[in-house]
Amino acid sequence: MKVAILQMEGTNCEEESYMAFKEIGAEPEYLHLNLLRPGMLEDYDMLFIPGGFSSGDYVRAGAIFAARLKAKAWNELRKFVEAEKPVMGVCNGFQVLIELGLLPGTDGISDVPEAALATNESNRFECRWVHLKKERDSIFSANVPDRIVLPVAHAEGRFIASPRVIEEMEAQRQVVFRYIAPDGSKPDYPWNPNGSINDIAAVVNSYGNVFGIMPHPERAFFWYQHPDWTRIPRNRGDGYYVFESLMRIIEAKNR
Amino acid sequence: MLKATIVVKLKEGVDDPEGKTIKHSLNLLGFEPVVRVNVARHYEIFIDAPREEGEKMIEEMLRKLLINPVIHEYEVRVEEI
Amino acid sequence: MKLRKITDGVYEVSILNATEEELEEINETMGLALSIEEMKKMQEFFREMGREPTDLEIHAIAQGWSEHCSYKSSKPVLRKYIFGIPSEHAMIVMQDDAGVVEFDDEYAYVFKIESHNHPSAVEPYGGAATGVGGIIRDVLNMGAKPMALVDPLFFAPPNYDGKLNPGIKHPRFLLNGVVAGIRDYGNRVGIPTVAGMTYFHEDYVNNILVNAGCLGVVRKDKIVRSMVDAPGIKLVMVGGRTGRDGIHGVNFASKVLSEKSEEEKQAVQLGNPILKEPLIHVVLEANDMGIVYGMKDLGGGGLGSVVGEMCHAGGVGAEVHLDRVLLKEPNMAPWEIWVSESQERMLLAVKEENLPALEKLCKKWDVEMSVIGESISERRLRIYWHGEKILDMPLEFITAGVEYDRPFKIKKVERVQELPPEPKYHNVFLRILSDFNVASKEWIIRQYDHEVQGRTVIKPMQGIIGFESHGDASIIKPVHSSWKGIAITTVANPHIAKLDPYMGALYTVDEAVRNLVAVGARPSSLSDGLNFGNPEREEIMGEFVESCRGLGDAARVLGTPYVSGNVSFYNEAFGKNIPPTVVLMAVGIIDDIRAAVSSDFKRDGNHIYLVGSTAPDMGGSVYYRVLGAKSTVVPEVNINKTKELSEKLLKAMSRGLVRACHDISHGGLAVALAEMSMGGDVGAEIDVGAMQHMRSDFKLFSESPTRWICEVSPEHGEEFASLTGAVRIGTVSGDSLRIRDGARWLFNVSVEKMRTVWRGALRAHLG
């Protein structure tokens, strides 16, 4: 599986993402936005937009990345999505997918953003680990256990959309992960770290191939990246299972 | 030369944590009567184009980059300088 | 001041026949911050040359001779105590911009700590951000990938309600601004902030301290030196453009802060992390391709000091065409270009045949570059401006600078200790937990991304998710294929150092060792950030000398060299000086991160041991400050004991005997126990009766050095005690911390209550 890891100035989680894909046996490649030429995207099986602060998060987190990507390769990107090839964005990458109108994608692709990842309720960047509940299987979550922990690190992660969009998303079961309190109850701050509506942490589009997630699976790929490994033994980091899910599905498809 | 002044702010009803934090700080500094703060972004964009063309460009800029319609509303003023 | 125009933007300044008064006028008007002796030395030089200098030449000399660039007050002392501590593993020590130490057969680690105090006092957000940017470049220009940041900060208490001098901002404003600056820069550039400290002392009210450190890792064969040692090598500026920002930042850093500083905001540079991030890629990729001959970042002193130092270090000279420098704003005078401290710029030395490859890289990352000159065999500096020669001097004269053996006085403090009546333990314990130097720093720590790059395997906050408390050091795992880790911590104890700078320095080194050993790492090397008042005052110089003597004595015994460092003098304003503040960034090596230990209690029923001995020396302690009691009797450090005990504890850890470990520092034994309890969300029952005989409150709150608390499972207790000489003081149990001294109960506080008090104290005053 050839994975394009998109880069531009300010993306900064590309190395750990690259490592995660490499570890599961995919063939990741960095692809800088400045080097993106017509026809290049179709060479890849998957597109990955890593976290970071593309263009410093100026204007809005992810907005400049999205605008430049759209200007350069919108039609190709559409084709990529319509061909049901997987597209995944983590953190800033999720923000980019929202700005592109690829997520929540209640009806495929939207020309204007249908949601926003707004400033955290706490009004500050926070780096902390959160508990997540898996809401459904998808090519990004099939192998993920029902309850996992992952780190968040963002200032703009509060998922907002109109009641209509939220309703549609819920009806189509597009929410893949929700924040949850450690005892399984509905999370207050800090368990819902940003104030997202319906505790939404990760969503997939209606086709099931575009996935955006605020927490960072690539930073929890190995057991020793967990903050409590000196307390709880694990064989793998919880984020590993996101990548493993992808690999299994793609492999099965190619067979 | 055109000067476009664009103010992008959060729609009524969208929570504004930055505004709330600033309000809280102002109250702490002794400005107790402050009851609300809205934070907006103010852009001044200078365009070397005829008015009609310039206004069209601004529309496009807003759509392509400057706002997210889910949370933002905006005001635009264009003047010749 | 007499000027004669030579060409656009360049003037000849008449100094040959200037009187002392006229020299002073030139010094003042041009903002040189030189002493009259130095002005005379410059005059003498041009008299020998038989010509008047250009304004550029005068600025170039002032820059080279500034305290910041030349270390003119500190060098003789540093040479005597700090430099040249023998070490097996150190590779580059106190030569380039950062120290280089062997990590394993293939890799080396590179690190340094530096101050950015004065600019942060004037403009906290930009100043702190720039401090982070600068220290990253120091590591980057050794060819290393930056992997960790640290940020020790020093303020007056955030609830300070005394009078503020004109131009001085409230500590709460400064703290918020500095934290935001570090956050926005560090997070955006994608380097985790893994350690640091926020320290409060009233004496920082006029002068805050913002220190920043960075650690990177480089393959040994890819280490780049900050020198050019052959003629004909092209000098290329890469990164940001040059502007008027930060002009005279260096002289500014060497000046006593005053009311006027507000007007000197132009001396504060503004960093741009979104320019830096691609610049890091360009530099590291160029280095991977092997096309970087030499490299140095443009920090304090700008282009002037960088060209000078790089060529001087390699025994060559340089020819520079200033009109080829890319500018942010037109009409900059050559001297402004030469001394500008605009951020995000690097100077690369590159062979001519490799220029096209570098150009290609820069294009990919959208980074600008410009070839501004080349090295020449003659050891002179020649600068041209649109073809006209406007500077021609021997490099030696500019860069060698001056040195002073400043007179100093060591103050003798009489040893006295009040003996206050025994307190109400419950109340005093909670007051200590809410002391700003003890209380939770979580609000600050979590605003920094400590996870980016995915290498942070022991985090700054440790324990159950959502309940974490302070750890002693963080560990990163830098090489994917190896289990070896690097532990990083920062320490300082200005309260003790103010009473006794020598013992304070020993205590600081001891605490660095304690912190590293607490996570299971062997101390490897140190970087020293030395922050002091005005060295022209004999008692301040005395503090500096005593501190350096202490640092030297301690490190020699431990075999941990100072491989890099920074001196910040003139932290004085309105006649008040800061306490002597030795900040250490300490690095340790752990052979296998799987053996690392965190500070949170792990399991009900495990035994709790105290390693090390306790003495009733309460000088500088949080306890005495909370009581308002006086003591000048500071804790006594026996550095041989530090070495011996830490080796024993590491041995016990390597045998897997230790489940949790925490060093005892601010607030003493009681606070260390509380933090271990909060992190593990479990209580403990403690009997301090087994400790040496002394008052119960001293047992609980003494800050004696070289001590740790360890959690050990019952079956390993005997082995652990015989290895370390530790005494058992209790058991992990229940949901409260219950402490008695023999038959007498001292206090019982629930974990929940401790957490509320500890978390809330500082938080209430922030953001």
Confidence band, pLDDT 50/70/90 cuts, at residue C399: confident
pLDDT digits (tens, 9 = 90+) for C56-91: 999 989 888 887 777 788 989 999 999 988 888 999
Q: Give pLDDT, residue C65.
A: 86
Q: Give pLDDT, residue C98.
A: 92
Helices (H) and strands (E) in chain B, counts: 2, 3
**Residues of chain B positioned with their CB less than 8 A from the CB of A120:** 17
Question: Does the pLDDT at position C350 exceed 80?
Answer: yes
Higher pLDDT, C767 or A209: A209
Look up residue C441 and give its two tokens. 């720093």
ipTM score assigned to the predicted complex: 0.96
Nearest to A118 among B20, B65, B71 (CB): B71
Q: Give pLDDT, residue A94.
A: 97
Residues of C carrying an active site annotation: 68, 116
Q: Quick check: is A216 catalytic?
A: yes
Question: What Rg do the C-alpha atoms of chain B give, in angstroms?
Answer: 16
Domain coverage including residue A133? 2-254
Measure Cα distances from C673 to C74, C608, C610, C665, C730 in Å: 40, 9, 10, 11, 10
Domain boundaries, chain B: 2-80
Domain boundaries, chain C: 3-67, 84-223+468-594, 597-767
Confidence band, pLDDT 50/70/90 cuts, at residue C265: very low
Please, which chains are in contact with C (at least 3 CB pairs closer than 8 A)? Answer: A
Tell me the residues of chain C between 589 and 628 that have a Cβ less than 8 Å away from chain A.
Answer: 593-594, 596-598, 600, 602
Confidence band, pLDDT 50/70/90 cuts, at residue C299: confident
Nearest to A116 among B21, B41, B71 (CB): B71
Q: Report the C-alpha gap between C222 and C12 in whole angstroms.
A: 44
Instruction: Using a CB–CB cutoff of 8 Å, tell me whether A219 touches chain C.
Output: yes
What is the arithmetic mean of pLDDT over B52-71? 91
**Residues of chain A positioned with their CB less than 8 A from the CB of C451:** 127, 151, 153, 216, 219, 225
Question: Does the pLDDT at position C99 exceed 70?
Answer: yes
Q: Which CATH architecture has domain C3-67?
A: Orthogonal Bundle (1.10)
Record: fold of C597-767: Phosphoribosyl-aminoimidazole Synthetase; Chain A, domain 2 (3.90.650)
Number of domains in chain A: 1
The identity of residue C516, as a single letter, is L
In contact, A9 and C274? CB cutoff 8 Å: yes
**Residues of chain A positioned with their CB less than 8 A from the CB of C190:** 12-13, 52-53
Confidence band, pLDDT 50/70/90 cuts, at residue A56: confident
Q: Which residue of A has its CA nearest to B40?
A: A59
Record: fold of B2-80: Mth169; Chain: A , (3.30.1280)
Q: Report the C-alpha gap between A113 and C120 in whole angstroms.
A: 40
Length of chain C: 767
The alpha carbon torsion through A38, A42, A44, A49 (nearest 10 deg) reads: 60
CB within 8 Å: C451 and A216 = yes
Q: At what angle do helices C273-288 and C355-364 cross, to 10 degrees?
A: 140
Question: Does the pLDDT at position C44 exceed 50?
Answer: yes
Q: Checking DSSP bridges between strand B72-80 and strand A147-154, what pairing results, if any?
A: unpaired
pLDDT digits (tens, 9 = 90+) for C635-650: 999 999 999 999 999 9
Confidence band, pLDDT 50/70/90 cuts, at residue C261: low
Measure Cα distances from C406 to C66, C77, C388, C411 in Å: 16, 9, 41, 16
Q: Give pLDDT, residue B13.
A: 80
Question: Does the pLDDT at position C402 exceed 80?
Answer: no
Q: Give pLDDT, residue C270.
A: 61
Peptide bond into A151 cis (omega under 30): no
Q: What percent of chain C has pLDDT over 70?
A: 96
Question: Does the pLDDT at position C250 exceed 60?
Answer: no
Q: Give pLDDT, residue C260.
A: 52
Instruction: Using a CB–CB cutoff of 8 Å, tell me whether A78 touches chain B.
Output: no
Nearest to C366 among A19, A34, A153 (CB): A34
Nearest to A124 among C452, C598, C767 (CB): C767
**Residues of chain A positioned with their CB less than 8 A from the CB of B63:** 112
Of C515, C140, C589, C68, nearest in space to C347 by CA = C140
SS3 content of chain A, % helix, strand, coil (to 5): 35, 25, 40
Please, which chains are in contact with B (at least 3 CB pairs closer than 8 A)? Answer: A
Mean pLDDT lowest among A4-8, C75-79, C239-243, C244-248: C244-248
Look up residue A227 and give its two tokens. 């903050």
Instruction: Using a CB–CB cutoff of 8 Å, tell me whether C459 touches chain A.
Output: yes
CB within 8 Å: A160 and B70 = yes
Nearest to A63 among B20, B21, B65 (CB): B65
Yes or no: domain C84-223+468-594 corresponds to CATH 3.20.10.10: no
pTM above 0.90, yes or no: yes
* CATH number where A172 lies: 3.40.50.880
Q: Give pLDDT, residue C391.
A: 94
**Residues of chain A positioned with their CB less than 8 A from the CB of B12:** none
CB within 8 Å: A219 and C451 = yes
